[in-house]
Amino acid sequence: MNDREYALSPAGTAQDRQFWSAHVDALDRHLSTNRWALAAVTVAAMAYPIARILIPAVLHSFVPDAVRTVLNLI
């Protein structure tokens, strides 16, 4: 099997977009504003601690190398 067997044609891609668009439109019709707000708050509540842990960890992994480079240049 190769990847070409699974590649979508442009027509298949357009049909796929229409399919998902119909699903999103159905969600818009059937979910109330309160449910959307609850979903947004839930996503924000989960994303906040991840960002508070992940971003400092990534910065901490890069900053020491940068500081060592600057100190070696001085």
Tell me the DSSP string of 46-57.
HHHHHHHHHHHH
CB atoms within 10 A of CB 60: 9
| Model pLDDT, residue 1 | 46
CA 8 vs CA 20, 31, 70: distances in Å: 15, 31, 50
Tell me the residue range of the domain where 47 lies: 3-73
pLDDT over 80 at 6, yes or no: no
Q: What is the pLDDT of residues 10-65, one digit of tens each?
A: 667 777 788 788 877 777 777 788 888 998 999 999 999 989 999 888 878 887 87
Look at the pTM and tell me if it is higher than 0.75.
no
| Model pLDDT, residue 44 | 95
| Model pLDDT, residue 2 | 52
The domain total for the chain is 1
